[in-house]
Amino acid sequence: MRGTLQDIHATGTSRMRAEAGFRTWCSWMMHSRPEPMKTLARRIRRHWRDILAYFDHRCTNAIPEGLNGIIRHIKTRARGLRNMDCFSTMIHLTCGKPDLATVTI
């Protein structure tokens, strides 16, 4: 089941081909026994347009989501910071990857 879904993603060169593969896969999952697979098929159907939009544009929001996770981690570490300026500085130092070797004092 998982392998078939991975094949749809790997071989889906066009939206129409991916849509046909997802329709077949979702139908198979809804007629299967494992409840988690049925739940996944329902979730795919609920986000149908967004998933198929990937095959049109080939872009995702993975980078912004990754940065958001890093910023949330900074927020949990920054409980003792005094103000938003310190928080902003921590975000820039962590996400910006500055070259501190070129800084002179």
* Amino acid code (one letter) for 31: H
Predicted confidence band of residue 104 (pLDDT cuts 50, 70, 90): low
Angle at 79 between CA 95 and CA 84, to 5 degrees: 60
Q: What is the distance between the alpha carbons of residues 2 and 21, in angstroms, rounded to a whole number?
A: 13
Question: Could you tell me if 60 and 53 are in contact, meaning their C-beta atoms sit under 8 angstroms apart?
Answer: no
pLDDT at residue number 103: 66
Instruction: For the full predicted model, state whether its pTM sits above 0.85.
Output: no
Q: Report which of residues 105 and 19 the model is more confident about.
A: 19
Phi and psi at 7, nearest 5°, equal -65, -40
pLDDT at residue number 3: 86
pLDDT at residue number 86: 83
Q: What is the distance between the alpha carbons of residues 90 and 70, in angstroms, rounded to a whole number?
A: 11
pLDDT digits (tens, 9 = 90+) for 41-67: 899 899 988 888 888 888 888 889 998
Q: What is the distance between the alpha carbons of residues 41 and 27, in angstroms, rounded to a whole number?
A: 8
Mean pLDDT of all residues in 57-84: 84
